[in-house]
Amino acid sequence: MNKILLTGFEPFGGETVNPSWQVASALNGQRIGGAMVVAVQLPCVFALALGALDAARQAHQPRWVLALGLAGSRSSISVERVAVNLVDARIPDNAGAQPVDEPVLAGGPAAYFTGLPAKAIVAGLQQAGYRAELSHTAGSYVCNQVFYGLMHALSLGAGSGVRGGFIHLPPLPEQADCHLPSRPMALDEQVAALRLAVEMLVADTPELHVVGGRID
């Protein structure tokens, strides 16, 4: 059976939980729409995260790769559209490194677009009643690094048919240190939303060409 690799991050920035790993591990081992979910945790460490992702891809040979991370200041599930070749860390990573103005990949292209049907996933989530949005920046921290590295690796394997991308999740209600929205999304709701996103991805849902751009 085809596999989907779902990655989540360990807690970082002084938090004790990270919804991205809680969601990924909740779906681990489940069959969703004809695919088997394999969840792997990534370290929130610039020097290790991409190596861990590559090792997981080698080990599991997934047909889809969906990387998840926490966006502590957002209130919706954010389907990321673009990864940039930039690291500019606002806080140190879990190994104490805080690189500023470095490329993810020296000499690499400035950016990669997601391989997900991002607008279709946002629309599908919204129709099912979940708060979701299209995002044009995954930041400049470890999540963006992993997203960029993933899209770079998948571009090298163009033709292999592996599709992937990145989704940021909002904080859980118990993450009082984060900027909590008035109605935070509980873990159950995030898990259910991501199950639907995985279902749409493995069904090879085509992209929706509706307006999703922003002026600012």
Q: Which residues bind ligand PCA (CB under 6 A)?
A: 9, 12, 18, 20, 44, 69-71, 139, 141-143
With H, G, I as helix, E, B as strand and everything else as coil, classify residue 20: helix
Nearer to ligand PCA, 20 or 175 (CB): 20
CB of 110 to ligand PCA, least distance (A): 18
Strand boundaries in 14-95, DSSP class E? 31-32, 35-42, 64-70, 77-80, 82-84
Which one of the listed residues 102, 168, 174, 179 is annotated catalytic?
A: 168
Active site residue 133: no
CA-to-CA dists, residue 86 to 142, 152, 197, 211, angstroms: 10, 13, 27, 27
CA proximity to 7, closest of 75, 74, 54, 77: 54
CB of 142 to ligand PCA, least distance (A): 4
Nearer to ligand PCA, 20 or 85 (CB): 20
**b vs e for 65-78, b when ≥16 Cβ sit within 10 Å of the residue's Cβ?**
bbbbbbbbebbbbb
Nearer to ligand PCA, 83 or 122 (CB): 83
Paired tokens of 54: 């590559």
Paired tokens of 71: 């966006």
CB of 124 to ligand PCA, least distance (A): 23
- CA–CA separation, 163 and 160 (whole Å): 9
CB of 49 to ligand PCA, least distance (A): 8
Active site residue 168: yes
Which one of the listed residues 10, 60, 136, 143 is annotated catalytic?
A: 143
Nearer to ligand PCA, 27 or 44 (CB): 44
Q: Which residues are catalytic?
A: 80, 143, 168
